[in-house]
Structure 1
Amino acid sequence: MSRVTTHETTHSSVKDMVWRWGAGPCWGVAAFLTWWLPDGDDFPDTTLLAGLFLACGVVLLILAALKRLRYWAPWSAVLGLGLGAWEVAQAKFLLLPRPFFGTPQDLLDVFLTDWKRLGDSLLHSLLLLLIGYGIGACVGIVVGMALGRSLRFRYWVRPIMRVIGPLPPVALLPLAFVIMPSTRLAGEALMALSAGFPVAVLTWSGVAAVDPAYYDVARTMGAKDRFLVLRVALPAATPQIFVGLFMGLGASFSMLVVAEMLGVKSGLGFYMQWAQGWAAYPNMYAALLVMALMCTSLMTLLFKLRDYVLRWQKDGLKW
């Protein structure tokens, strides 16, 4: 048994070493093919792209030597090979129809020449998202706490939530554009609705699941209603609240793109719509990449906040 275990451990160590030391050369191969093979068309920044690939390969080799590249080594190698294959297939042999499918050079050129407009669009999207999501999350927590603690509030509000809550917010977009004084306010209101419903339902679920004995013990010690809400119900419902916050953030992302494409004349969604209208597909792909990085960064920050607040559960749910 020990011999088999030793063999498996050795095999795993060899495989990890191959991945760790192979990631850098994969990027080196991509750099060599980018520089050596002739372009199939007049593409910008080919030499610069080859230099960036080579620089990534050198950095990965340094990280491998420092033993800092273990978990992400396979991903690093596959990413280098994937970019190299994309470069060869599209920039060198033009295997995919243009201009619908760009090249790595096209994408790099967009970031070099249009970074100001992309950055401005990113700031507008972030501001729109944070206002709409922030309002929706706060209102959702308050409404969820009230639903869980007040029978009278639940009687009047629950039917409204059952009618409006499951309705896709995008279906209310035309009505919101008519009622609201500006398309920006309409987008923020619909993002607040997108985030508020799951946060309210999950907060309500968390409050309803609190053991009644906790309230009885607190009342025995003289606790008032405010203490029961802030010190008993809210902490006990926090895990469920964060689940609602994650769901609400995802729904807000979807509503953000739709609002910017259909009405709000700013942001990454509007930039993508503009790029598609002018057949500037590399710009559209660049905006998609920036949007993906924005969304995953915000979700990561929310998970970091969850791990800080719920320290005893930080190993349970990962992102």
Structure 2
Amino acid sequence: MSGAETTQAIGPAEAGRTHAPATPRRATRALRHIVLPWAAGPAWFVASLLTWRVPDADDFPDTNELAALFAGIGVALLAAAALRRLSARAPWMIALGLGLATWEVAQAKLLLLPRPFFGTPQDLLDVFLTDWKRLGDSLLHSLGLLAVGYTVGSTLGIATGVGLGRSRHFRYWVLPVVRLVGPLPPVALLPLAFVLFPSNWLASEALMALASGFPVTILTWSGVAAVDPAYYDVARTMGARNRFLVLRVALPAASPQIFVGLFMGLGMSFAMLVIAEMLGVKSGLGFYMQWAQGWAAYPDMYAALLVMSAMCTGLITILFRVRDRLLGWQKDGLKW
């Protein structure tokens, strides 16, 4: 049967239904790439207008500045839509703008939530405008504390994991110690660490090194032990020594597992960092949060949480970029 006869046989209605799924798909694509990007800016303009024109329920600071900030973000989003740079993030930007508008109306205009536990967007902005120096100093202290503990713990973890995977004698003597100390929550060792080490700073660094070192050790050991022995045999036939086998065979082959351990260790170091700063080290974002809670300055505490979230997200993003650079064949895998 020819193509014309087939069309006549199924009829025009059936022929039209064969192409029907393309229309919803085109409509969804147009919504995602055309409508939503241009709706993100107006969502923030709504938040700006509500902040500026609706009277506050109390004398809140920086209302005009907050309205101007919302309007500026709206203008930036319209520019991004015009440049076609907003397609993927447009739904989130719309939700964020409307969410802030809802928070502004519910708390700053109507006071629906109890204060001081729940502040207003104005309170949060005021913290960043008036106390940015102390927040920045706390951020630098936290980054310095985390960098030393995490770097030391990860380095020792990789070295220990390689030893466990490559040497039977090393595994005989070290594995019982790893089994005894590694699974312990580092926070449980906090009182003992403050007694054993001469300063709270060293105690905190040691606990963060322990928190990051254990998962890195186990995952490195797993990766090295899983390397195909044929790789070592081929390298030995070409005259490779033990150092070459470790640096050029074992570690590259175990790199995916090592990076999993590094991600896990970074997360555990974040938790230990906050605990150490709250209980021992008198600086950093954890200490700032404890100070804010003691004075019932909850907006300051929420601002510290935002800064801490940005710090943790930024460090994980950097670690993902390093992984993508070193393990190019995993770029299409897990994204952050």
The answer for the alignment partner of 2:196 in structure 1 is 179
The answer for the alignment partner of 2:275 in structure 1 is 258
Q: CA deviation at 1:210?
A: 0.2
Aligned amino acid, residue 191 of structure 2: P
Which aligned pairs between 1:277-296 and structure 2 lie closer than 5 A? 277-296=294-313
The answer for the alignment partner of 1:168 in structure 2 is 185
Query: Separation in 2 of the partners of 1:295 and 1:99?
Result: 27
The answer for the alignment partner of 1:8 in structure 2 is 24
Query: Separation in 1 of the partners of 2:295 and 2:315?
Result: 30
TM-score by length of 2: 0.94
Q: CA deviation at 1:13?
A: 2.2
The answer for the alignment partner of 2:125 in structure 1 is 108
Identity of aligned residues (%): 71
SS at match of 2:87: coil
Aligned amino acid, residue 226 of structure 2: A
Quick check: 1:151 aligned with 2:168?
yes
The answer for the alignment partner of 1:73 in structure 2 is 90
The answer for the alignment partner of 1:242 in structure 2 is 259
SS at match of 2:40: helix
Query: Separation in 2 of the partners of 1:4 and 1:230?
Result: 58
TM-score by length of 1: 0.99
Query: Separation in 2 of the partners of 1:31 and 1:128?
Result: 39
- Indicate which of 285, 288, 308 corresponds to 1:271: 288
Query: Separation in 2 of the partners of 1:305 and 1:63?
Result: 28
Quick check: 1:304 aligned with 2:321?
yes
The answer for the alignment partner of 2:116 in structure 1 is 99
Aligned amino acid, residue 264 of structure 2: M
The answer for the alignment partner of 1:127 in structure 2 is 144
Query: Separation in 2 of the partners of 1:67 and 1:124?
Result: 39
Quick check: 1:25 aligned with 2:42?
yes
The answer for the alignment partner of 2:217 in structure 1 is 200
Query: Separation in 2 of the partners of 1:13 and 1:233?
Result: 47
Query: Separation in 1 of the partners of 2:227 and 2:47?
Result: 56
Q: CA deviation at 1:312?
A: 1.1
- Indicate which of 30, 36, 39 corresponds to 2:56: 39
Query: Separation in 2 of the partners of 1:52 and 1:115?
Result: 17
Query: Separation in 2 of the partners of 1:240 and 1:10?
Result: 42
Q: CA deviation at 1:10?
A: 1.6
SS at match of 1:265: coil
Deviations 1:89-136 (A, max 9, x none): 000000000000001000000000000000000000000000000000
Q: How many residues align?
A: 319
Deviations 1:73-98 (A, max 9, x none): 00000000000100000000000000
Which aligned pairs between 1:75-90 and structure 2 lie closer than 5 A? 75-90=92-107
Query: Separation in 2 of the partners of 1:136 and 1:8?
Result: 53
The answer for the alignment partner of 2:6 in structure 1 is none
Q: CA deviation at 1:263?
A: 0.7
Q: CA deviation at 1:4?
A: 2.8
The answer for the alignment partner of 2:247 in structure 1 is 230
Which aligned pairs between 1:51-62 and structure 2 lie closer than 5 A? 51-62=68-79
Q: CA deviation at 1:2?
A: 5.9
Query: Separation in 1 of the partners of 2:30 and 2:254?
Result: 46
SS at match of 1:3: coil
Aligned amino acid, residue 296 of structure 1: T
SS at match of 1:163: helix
Greater Rg over alpha carbons, structure: 2
Deviations 1:142-200 (A, max 9, x none): 00000000000101111111111111000000100111111111111000000000001
Identify unmatched segments of 5+ residues in structure 2. 1-16
RMSD (CA atoms): 0.9
Aligned amino acid, residue 6 of structure 1: A
The answer for the alignment partner of 2:65 in structure 1 is 48
Identify unmatched segments of 5+ residues in structure 1. none
Query: Separation in 1 of the partners of 2:20 and 2:145?
Result: 58
Query: Separation in 2 of the partners of 1:166 and 1:248?
Result: 13
User: Which range moves more in the overlay, 266-275 or 162-171?
Assistant: 162-171
Query: Separation in 1 of the partners of 2:37 and 2:295?
Result: 43
The answer for the alignment partner of 2:4 in structure 1 is none
